[in-house]
Amino acid sequence: MCLFVHYRKTLKLRKSGKQFITGYKIVDKRNDNCLYSMFFSHKWAIGFNNAYVKIENHYNEKYNKLCIDNGIHVFLYKPNRHDFMEPYEKIIPVRCYLNDLIAVGRHGDAVFRRVYLSKQSYDKAIKC
């Protein structure tokens, strides 16, 4: 995934005075009753989940924008189930601390260094 940075939205969220926000992550529930990221083989656990890759960015010449590829990408709103989602993919709420915020994108998405997954959210996703 690539997040195109929206500088004003990033600054607005950083200066909001909030300690954390609720973000939403689409995960893949596989046969072993575990949750995995859609695009990477990161196995989600209860508690803090860190981005295991070095946070890098690059300038996309085609779109004339700064692009962030790595990190934990989340939606800032609860998405509807999309046509591209498979039945085994779940939308889970995660707690995103603003001191871990890397950037906010143009389309209601953001990238964080780490996010927190509660036991309640994990159990609910596993049961469905």
77-125: pLDDT as tens digits = 988 776 678 888 889 999 999 999 999 998 899 999 999 999 999 999 9
Query: What 3-state DSSP class applies to 120?
Result: helix
Element counts in the chain: helices (H) and strands (E): 2, 11
- The pLDDT score that the predictor gives to residue 51 is 84
Query: What 3-state DSSP class applies to 1?
Result: coil
Average pLDDT for residues 28-39, to the nearest whole number?
82
User: Is residue 65 over pLDDT 90?
Assistant: no
Query: Helix %, strand %, coil % for the chain, to 5?
Result: 15, 45, 40
Q: Could you give the percent of the chain with pLDDT greater than 90?
A: 48
Q: Could you give the percent of the chain with pLDDT greater than 70?
A: 86
User: Is residue 53 over pLDDT 70?
Assistant: no
- The pLDDT score that the predictor gives to residue 106 is 86
Average pLDDT for residues 45-63, to the nearest whole number?
73
Label residue 62 by pLDDT band (50, 70, 90). low
- The pLDDT score that the predictor gives to residue 64 is 61
> To the nearest whole number, what is the mean pLDDT of the chain?
86
User: Is residue 26 over pLDDT 60?
Assistant: yes
